Structure 1
């Protein structure tokens, strides 16, 4: 058996630079999400406005994802990543400008909201490209034997950045206000733009140059839907995020249910992701490739259980604990899913599979925001979360009974084979 190296991926310089870039981007993106959610709810005091934010980002991210995957498979990944970051910096600057004193004093609330929604929509377009580009780039930075470890560090970096981004977003709103917080976010994006140039250009591995766009899109979607393991993993995460998630209505819990204010809002956002810090440490030392399918099922089930606890809670401390535990299970689920995708996806299809992943999981964040806003309006925020968590549990039970390949999945042999190839 190959000895587990918890720092295998970190031994490659470019992967460390990639992690710094991803941390800066996700840290800024998480802060921006918190700030915009707070700003829009403050302007409207309407739960449906939070759902509109999710809808504006979901529509382009979902419907452009297959086309984005086709483009990513045929373009040089480092330059494409750089372009995405540069365009994201325009969004950050636009939000910074929209919240300036001059704009707020001369523009109507409806006009400001229209500007925010427009920039969020543009962000959804970029999200369609970010996911498959990052997924493809990781595979070009580290060797295949380090994929599981790279997936762990990359996922944990994403979660860790979400923790501190959400936490800092809530506190910075209280300390320096929305406008200057968005200024800090713009600075972080520019830092990421500078760092990404330290990663060299990568080869284009897709050899199917004569394949039409239609054939390319069909082959990517067909590959995912014909693989029960990948399809099952994506479905589990999609349902958990779509119905079990409640991030979009944390502002409602902070203001109306728990009476916690902006600081409490930041704590709630951070609590969900903070459990992943433990996941980061544990999964780098303890392999998640053995009994992979069972670990994924247990992780998603645990996430659903603690989201139900959060929805039923009326106490801030209990809500924070429930979200922290949900974060632990969510972190495990994310690392396992990324490991499955990295090991099971052919190199020439990474962009398209990454795009389908974005459609299932990435875009479900935004669609989940729509669902959360509507459900909170109809049932009230607490009951909406309880119902979502229950739906997650039911999905896990059905998947464990109906999807035997996923339930019995064990990636340990695959990892050892790749390790032996590199060693020899």
Structure 2
């Protein structure tokens, strides 16, 4: 086997369209993270209910569950770049509605949930298309590094977004929504300028076989199924981030700015690890390192759940974020490089359901469990569940545990 090539930053960005793709994704992520702080704080401020925070995740997840199959089909049939641009414009209009209603003091929980459903519909079609950009821009042997670079920028936005959201919210929710709206529009413009030659789309009639193609492909590939389902259950159970508004207000007593710091802490850890992986990619034992990172994720979740000190909580969230990004890089590389381009949209859409289940549905699960058992018990039990899942998946998916070099992947038989 040839050694893993580690390209410089200049070598990576020479590929046409890479900068525009990264800028568009980073800016839309920045807007989304900023928006999440404003909505989370405003919902809890209006309702004072942990369950209401869970319903925020459910409102985002519901469209994903309903539209995933047609979204994947459209991604493999039509121009993916154009789909992303339209979706970003819809998200910008959602921001306009939130800003207008908030400015006129007419924003209610039910209206917020309605806007989130519309927002979730747009994200459902955007994400599977957006996830195919990198693999069509950079060559295969550079893909792990490009993924790490993309993750670095994503985590930077995840770090800045909550902090920006907390600061802006201090000046008013309407200002926060206006800034998010502008960011979504700029992301749409950047995406529209991406320069890469779209792959030839073959005629693909709308049929049950084609709609279910992504599901069949994933379930016939043990390494892909194991990686995706590991993330699903680990993050679904370890949903500490959904409880951050409660921790900020009732446990750590640090206010909306503190909430922004807490939300950004995991991104700081993730950014440091992702930046390191850009220069020093995982060369061997990628599967084992992914499982270790999930175990660390679970342990950090438990300690965070028990913490009443904001400094310790920030450190735990940073460790949690750093561990998570290792799993993200390994999983993303596995999916992108083991999936044919003509199937990539449908596979990415199904993967999006797993991610959405672990994030949005995880928020709902955490909210309901916190309502019943209290936020601390909810977070601690989730961390314990994550550790159990990691050990169980090592046994159930031995081929995933044995993955070695990411740039020498061979399809499962």
- Which category describes the TM-score, using the shorter chain as reference length? over 0.9
Distance in 2 (CA, whole Å) between partners of 1:393 and 1:353 is 27
Contact 1:74–1:206 (Cα < 8 Å) also in 2: yes
How does 1:381-396 map onto structure 2 within 5 Å?
381-396=375-390
Q: For this pair of structures, how many residues does the alignment match?
A: 407
C-alpha spacing 1:226/1:346, structure 2 compared with 1 (3 Å)? same
Provide the C-alpha distance between the structure 2 equivalents of 1:83 and 1:320, rounded to a whole number of angstroms: 37
Alignment partner for residue 28 of structure 1, among 13, 28, 31? Answer: 31
Identify the match of residue 197 of structure 1 among 192, 197, 213.
192
What is the alpha-carbon distance in structure 1 between the residues aligned to residue 247 and residue 204 of structure 2? 53
Q: For residues 8 and 354 of structure 2, what CA distance do their matches in structure 1 show? A: 29
Number of the residue aligned with 1:149: 145
TM-score, normalised to structure 2's length? Answer: 0.95
The correspondence of residues 404-419 of structure 1 with structure 2, limited to 5 A, is 404-412=398-406, 414=408
Q: Cα distance, 1:136 vs. partner?
A: 1.7
What per-residue deviation string (whole Å, max 9, x for no partner) do you get for residues 265-285 of structure 1? Answer: 111101111101111221011
Which residue of the partner structure matches residue 90 of structure 1? 93
- Provide the residue aligned with 1:268 in structure 2: 262
Q: Any unmatched runs of 5+ in structure 1?
A: 418-424
Return closer, same or farther for 1:284/1:6 CA change in 2, 3 Å cut-off.
farther
Residue aligning to 2:7: 5
Do residues 180 (structure 1) and 182 (structure 2) align?
Answer: no
Task: For structure 2, list consecutive stretches of 5 or more residues without a partner in the other structure.
Answer: none
Residue 163 of structure 1 is matched in structure 2 by 159
Cα distance in 1 for partners of 2:43, 2:306 equals 26
Query: 1 CA distance for matches of 2:66 and 2:280?
Result: 38
User: Residue 50 of structure 1 is aligned with which of 53, 58, 61?
Assistant: 53
* TM-score normalised by the chain length of structure 1: 0.92
Over the aligned positions, Cα root-mean-square deviation in angstroms equals 1.6
* Alignment correspondent of 1:214: 208
- The C-alpha deviation readout for 1:233-264, integer Å capped at 9, x for no partner, is 11111112211022222100011111111111
Q: Which residue in 2 is equivalent to 1:129? A: 125
8 Å CA contact retained: 1:159, 1:274: yes
Query: Which of 216, 241, 245 is residue 247 of structure 1 equivalent to?
Result: 241
Please give the alpha-carbon distance, in whole angstroms, between the structure 2 residues aligned to 1:315 and 1:36.
Answer: 25
Residue 80 (structure 1) aligned to one of 62, 78, 83: 83
Shift, 1:139, TM fit: 1.9
Larger displacement relative to structure 2 (406-415 or 183-192): 406-415
In 1, Cα distance between equivalents of 2:364 and 2:370: 10
1:315-356: CA deviations, max 9, x gaps? 111111100110110111111111111111111111011001
Q: Deviations over 1:282-303 (max 9, x none)?
A: 1011122521111111111111
2:32 corresponds to 1:38: no
**2:224 is aligned with 1:230:** yes
Are 1:281 and 2:275 an aligned pair?
yes
Between the aligned partners of 2:139 and 2:348, the Cα distance in structure 1 is 18
Query: Structure 2 CA distance, aligned partners of 1:213 and 1:38?
Result: 43
Contact 1:148 1:342 in 2 (8 A): no
Aligned mates of 2:356, 2:381 — CA distance in 1:
21
Say whether the 8 Å CA contact 1:167–1:267 is kept in structure 2.
yes
**Which one has a larger percent helix, Structure 1 or Structure 2?**
1
Indicate the larger mover: 10-19 or 115-124: 10-19
- Distance (whole Å) between structure 2 residues aligned to residue 48 and residue 227 of structure 1: 37
**Contact (CA 8 Å) 1:79, 1:201: kept in 2 or not?**
no
Where in structure 2 are the equivalents of 1:372-387 lying within 5 Å? 372-387=366-381
Question: Could you list the runs of 4 or more consecutive aligned residues of structure 1 that deviate by over 4 angstroms after TM superposition?
Answer: none
Match of 2:307 in 1: 313
8 Å contact kept, 2:145–2:278: yes
